[in-house]
Amino acid sequence: MNKPVRTASVVSVNLPAGAVEELNARVVSGEFATLDEAVTAALLELEHYRAVELVGGGAAFRALAEEVNTGSGVGEVDAFEFLHALVAKYEHMANAQGPKA
């Protein structure tokens, strides 16, 4: 399973006040234990949205997820390898269709 890697490095980031308030509210509500955890989750969510856009939107992403869940027989996979293979597949499909008008 892919999980965030914990490192000893520290990064300071300036966020808009509204974003900080939203993240703190999620911590206070118990959704996350710490502000660090909330920020990490928000970044992972951003990566998810990027992956959805990469494969062509929500419908394409759901179809791909269904294909993986039902027919592949694959257990856990490395997310980076999976996304790399997915990019290659969609690039091949795009190239087969020819240049966009």
DSSP output for 44-84: HHHHHHHHHHHTTSHHHHHHHHHHHHHHS---S--HHHHHH
Q: Is residue 90 part of a domain?
A: yes
- Its pTM stands at 0.51
CB atoms within 10 A of CB 9: 4
**Does residue 9 form part of some domain?**
no
Does residue 11 sit within a domain?
no
Please count the structural domains in the chain. Answer: 1
Domain span at residue 51 reads 17-97
On whether residue 4 sits in a domain, the answer given is no
Q: What is the mean pLDDT of residues 63-79?
A: 67
Q: What is the pLDDT of residues 8-19, one digit of tens each?
A: 577 888 999 999
Q: Tell me, yes or no, whether 24 lies in a domain.
A: yes
Q: How confident is the model over 20-51, as pLDDT tens digits?
A: 999 999 999 999 999 989 988 888 888 888 88
Residue 79 lies in a domain: yes
User: Taking a C-beta distance cutoff of 8 angstroms, is the pair 65, 48 a contact?
Assistant: no
**Residue 55 within any structural domain of the chain:** yes
